[in-house]
Structure 1
Amino acid sequence: MTPVTVFAGRKVALFGLGGSGLATARALKAGGADVAAWDDSETSREKAAAEGIAVVDLASADWSGFAAFVLSPGVPLTHPEPHWTVGKAKAAGVAIIGDVELFFRERAKIAPSAPVVCITGTNGKSTTTALIAHVLKQAGRDVQMGGNIGTAVLALEPPATNRIHVIECSSYQIDLAPSLAPTVGIQMNLTPDHLDRHGSLENYAAIKERLVSAADIAVVGVDDEPSRQMALRRAAGGRPLVEISGEQPLDRGVFAETVAHDGRSETRIVAAQDGERRVVASLAGIGSLRGTHNAQNAAAAFATCAALGLSDAEIAAGFRSYPGLAHRMEELGRIGRVVFINDSKATNADSTEKALTSFRDIFWILGGKAKEGGIESLRRYFPNIAKAYLIGAASDLFAATFDVEGSVTYERSLTLDKALAAATRDALAKPGEGEIAVLLSPACASFDQFPNFEVRGDTFRRLVAELPGFVAFGGGK
């Protein structure tokens, strides 16, 4: 835990007692603050009270006595309309902040030079966060990883000059962190998402840009226009910048290139500076880093770890041992030449695009609660689809997309178990040689049939493990 001592002896209001909210309340209490916490869930309130955290109905509280108001990042700050607690705080002139802000205020107090890496972006930030943390740990560094991935930021060990924090930051967290100032700030990419919470793409982009604007060193992806403009603005300010790309060569920065080698394609990470280019790592044979999107993730990880003093050899070794993240292009195992991929985290078309570029002859399981635009943007990848299997509420919408000019053969499976059975049957029956994929990459939220993408992915993993002849990677059944 990181005790938050910056509010010692002062009253702090807190709304939201889920995982990160409860961790925040604990950290504030441990640091000597007088915490008044509330949540709409009676179960959450009871859990907090059992730990000795003061549960106070903020609707009737005297807000004039609060030094700050800590809002859970999942609670609306501005759109579609501010939460009622936001109005209370503003009326009383109380600063509205989040757990990441508390972390950076504490860092400024106890260890201002402690190295902190913060990662944001619409897609890829979790894999990049985990990859950076893994490489640093493999190189013998003291690493704490958390934030929007896994462990709440204030549940991590405190900042220290000999400890590196690697923190994934959502746009919601950045919006509540005016003191955010990482050693290395990474902006991966930006596509329309969470617009219901930010009002417009411009607002969403501006919030993301805060992270790299305040960083000592900015690492910015330039494969999309909004992020490219962020890089240009950073460069115009004359502050340290490393551009990264998974799709194009760069004169300065770190990029991925794919070359033919011994009859196979190989993705390499290249560092370019002052007209010179050197290959710093190869991703060949690393299943957890397959695909163009992971090439950009690896480029970001290389740029960051190099900035923190690691050698090319240390970084390349870390890449080779990276196990990957659950539900993100997770290679489960195979039956013969059929490999099974759990990409349940792909809850929008942009995320699924990464999977569709990584394989040929795909038996694609998709569907759920559709996002705006559906899968229309994926048409150029339809030639990679051997057959599609539709599940959930989006079945009719996606069937209509596939029916245009008969672009994709599909089957209405409705449920995940039926889709997997059909896809496995068809994949095993396909003649020929070479690897083919049964891919769960839904391009949809899970909420029509599953509580979240993790449960959806766990269900898929369990069903795959029960298939006759399945061998998990690593040798298990």
Structure 2
Amino acid sequence: MIPVPGYEGQAVAVFGLGRTGITAARALIAGGARVLIWDDNAESRTRAQAAGLELTDLDRADWDSIAALVLSPGVPLTHPEPHRFVIRARELGVSVIGDMELFAIAMQALPQERRPSIIGITGTNGKSTTTALIGHILRKAGRDVRVGGNIGDAVLGLEPPRAQTVFVLELSSYQLDLVHSLRCDVAIWLNLTEDHIDRHGDMAGYKATKFRIFAHQTRDDLAVIGVDDDPSSAVMNRLKAEHVQQVTAISSGRALSRGVYALGGKLFDATGKSCVEIMDLASVAGLPGNHNAQNIAAAYAAVRHLGVEPDQIAAAIQSFPGLAHRLELSGTYKGIRFFNDSKATNADAAAKALASFDNIYWIAGGRKKEGGIGSLARYFPRIAKAYLIGEAAGEFASTLGSAVPHETAGTLENALGLALRDASSGGRTAPVILLSPACASFDQFRDFEHRGDVFRTLVQSRIGKP
């Protein structure tokens, strides 16, 4: 755990008692704060008490004595409307922050020689894979690494830094909304497509929140920017014009005169005086697809900035096993491959998976997100048949129409059975059964991890482990 200084003897309110909130409360207590914790959910309050924490009803608390409100990322800050405690805090001039800001405070309090390097990763898609890949590369290079944030452990639950420690942190827009002083030695912006509009109001609000990742960088720091979508390309142009930090462009679809890019199945480094081929991406079994080529390019640029040599990076990338629920190979059977891409909770994420294969037996659906799947039309020729589940099945069927053969399966289990039947008898070369729902999971599952775990278990019960 990382103790948080600066609030010794002061009252700090912590609202939202999930993993992040409970960890933040403990880190503040360890730093000497008097912590007032609460959650509107009775089950969450019970879990906090079971963890040994004392509750304080914030509706009845003396807010005049509270120095800060620490908000869990999922609690509304501005949209669709601020939570009542956010409104109360603002009325009284109480700062509203999150656990990532507490982490920043703790790092700034360290002596200069003990301050770690921090790599922050944001973007609509690919954050978790890029975060995990960077951590993997740095470990293989012998670095002291902590990986967390929006992936794995809450940041304040990580082991405190030693000299030369590197923190690799996935940063969601919800977390960045609550950050005021975090400085990233390397800030990675992968991409930007429409998502979380209900939380940020519109695309402009979403983009502005993501842009906070660059707020405190200096000339010694690096911004790594994916330039394969127009909003992100505009971000790169803005940063280059402002001349605050170093900027490296990355791409997975075109050659760059300056930057790191993937093209023709190979990774190239054009950040120096000449362009150098780094590796053949066909050898990276754990990261299929063009979207993962962008993740690889981002990871390469980040760790090169920290001095890791190209040959070390290439060897580490080849040994990366991939992440669960992100195009995870869940089994093979008579030439059929089964991929669990349950993390694809929107159409843009599903597009990355559909672009990676041909002869796809596609399992899709769940609780729909804004925009549907109309944007996926260009990938329809890759789909042999679709199997639709959950609340979105009817709408998805209407969108697919006569362009893609489809069947309403209802449940994931039924969908897998139908897909296996058809893939086994369809006579297609190298068929793929792909769970890439383009939907949230909450109509039938606890979360995307639960959905992916169920898919993996169903696959393995039918055909055995990969």
Q: Same fold (TM over 0.5)?
A: yes
Provide the residue aligned with 1:396 in structure 2: 394
Q: Tell me, yes or no, if the aligned pair for 1:174 and 1:180 is still in contact at 8 Å.
A: no
What's the offset of the Cα at 1:54? 3.1
Q: Which residue of 2 aligns with 1:279?
A: 277
Q: State the alpha-carbon separation in 1 of the partners of residues 234 and 414 from structure 2.
A: 45
The corresponding residue for 1:55 is: 55
CA distance in 1, matches of 2:457, 2:111: 45
Tell me what 1:472 maps to. 465
Gaps of 5+ in 1: 259-266
Say yes or no: does 1:413 pair with 2:415.
Answer: no
Deviation at 1:111, TM superposition (A): 4.6
Q: CA deviation at 1:425?
A: 1.0
Partner of 1:447: 442
Give 1:471 shift: 4.5
Q: In structure 2, what residue type is equivalent to 1:42?
A: A
Paired with 1:461 and 1:220, the residues of 2 have a C-alpha distance of: 34
Alignment of 1:227-376 (within 5 A): 227-238=232-243, 239-258=245-264, 267-273=265-271, 276-376=274-374
Distance 2:376 2:51 in 1: 49
Residue in 2 that maps onto 1:119? 121
- TM-superposed CA distance for 1:213, in Å, is 3.9
CA displacement 1:280-312 (0-9 Å, x = unmatched): 122213222111110000000000011111001
Q: Residue 329 of structure 2: SS of its match in structure 1?
A: strand
Partner residue, 2:451: 456
Native 8 Å contact 2:5 2:105 kept in 1: no
Once residues 422 and 398 of structure 1 are traced to their aligned partners in structure 2, the CA distance between those partners, rounded to angstroms, is: 17
CA distance in 1, matches of 2:184, 2:238: 18
Correspondent of 2:206 among 204, 207, 211:
204
- Using the alignment, how far apart are the partners of 2:458 and 2:271 within structure 1? 48
Map of 1:226 onto structure 2: 231
CA RMSD of aligned residues (A): 1.3
Q: Deviations over 1:112-159 (max 9, x none)?
A: 541011100000001000010011111111111000011000001123
| CA–CA distance in structure 2, aligned partners of residues 52 and 366 of structure 1 | 42
Q: Decide whether the 8 Å contact of 2:359 with 2:428 is kept in 1.
A: no
Name the SS of the counterpart of 1:106 in structure 2: helix
Aligned to 1:14: 14
Whether the 8 Å contact between 1:362 and 1:385 is mirrored in structure 2 is: yes
- Deviation of 1:161 after TM superposition, in Å, equals 3.0
Q: How does 1:86-105 map to 2 (within 5 A)?
A: 86-105=86-105
Q: 1:43 to 1:396 in 2, by over 3 A?
A: closer
- Name the SS for the 2:195 alignment partner: coil
1:420-475: CA deviation from partner (whole Å, max 9, x where unpaired): 01111111112254x220000111111111121111111100100011xx3533xx
> What SS is found at the alignment partner of 1:456?
helix
Secondary structure in 2 aligned to 1:310?
coil
The answer to whether the 8 Å contact 1:212/1:219 transfers is no
Distance verdict in 2 for CA 1:416–1:47, change over 3 Å: closer
Report % sequence identity. 52
Question: Is the CA contact (8 Å cut-off) linking 2:129 and 2:323 kept in structure 1?
Answer: yes
Q: TM-score, normalised by structure 1?
A: 0.94
Structure 2 residue runs of 5 or longer lacking an equivalent are none
Change in Cα spacing, 1:120 to 1:411, as seen in structure 2 (3 Å) is same
Task: Please tell me whether the aligned partners of residues 287 and 331 of structure 1 are also in contact (alpha carbons under 8 angstroms).
Answer: no
For 1:38 and 1:234, locate their aligned partners in 2 and report how far apart those are by CA, in whole Å: 40
Residue 41 to residue 107, structure 1, CA distance change in 2 (3 Å): same
Q: Alignment partner of 1:219: what SS?
A: strand
Scaled by the length of structure 2, what TM-score is found?
A: 0.96
Alpha-carbon offset, residue 160 of structure 1: 3.4
Q: Which residue is equivalent to 1:146?
A: 148
Which amino acid counterpart does residue 282 of structure 1 have in structure 2?
A: D
Task: Give the AA of the match of 1:418.
Answer: N
Deviates more, 1:35-44 or 1:78-87: 35-44
